[in-house]
Amino acid sequence: QEQLVESGGGLVQPGGSLRLSCVASGSIFTFNATGWYRQAAGKQRELVAAITSGGNTNYADSVKGRFIISRDNAKNTVYLQMSSLKPADTAVYYCNAVRYRGYLEVWGQGTLVTVSL
């Protein structure tokens, strides 16, 4: 029954900002960690940022200092605030959640971010 729904993707110019949202149908406390992955055309999916149930965060080196992952428990939503966007950030971004106990991994449908002039 758990579902993740992403939104907020679109076309932005280099140097611009964008905020992605991921809404979970169930409580985000169900999961040990939630985060964002991205997959560029012809490339493998890679971890962008993650946040644990305890609030610990982790970022890919390529986005450190530019992206911020956060959580709003009241809205059951995880966000990815992206700034100083580069063409290399162009990809489909996927929300992800993992529960270690009785292992469960859930993926959203993806939202396309295009950084271009």
Q: Give the pLDDT score at 2.
A: 81
* Residue 102, C-beta contacts closer than 8 angstroms, at least 6 positions apart: none
- 3-state secondary structure (DSSP) of residue 39: strand
| pLDDT (average), residues 96-100 | 92
Q: Give the pLDDT score at 116.
A: 97
Q: Give the pLDDT score at 61.
A: 98
Taking the C-alpha atoms of residue 75 and residue 28, their distance in angstroms, rounded to an integer, is 10
Six-digit token string for 92: 């489909």
3 Rama sector, left if φ>0, alpha if ψ -120 to 50, beta otherwise: beta
Six-digit token string for 100: 């270690």
Would you place residue 106 in the very low, low, confident or very high pLDDT band (cuts 50, 70, 90)? very high
Would you place residue 109 in the very low, low, confident or very high pLDDT band (cuts 50, 70, 90)? very high
Q: What is the pLDDT of residues 14-63, one digit of tens each?
A: 999 999 999 998 777 778 999 999 999 999 999 999 999 889 999 999 99
| pLDDT (average), residues 88-94 | 98
Tell me how crowded residue 111 is: count the other CB atoms within 10 A of its CB: 23
Tell me how crowded residue 13 is: count the other CB atoms within 10 A of its CB: 10
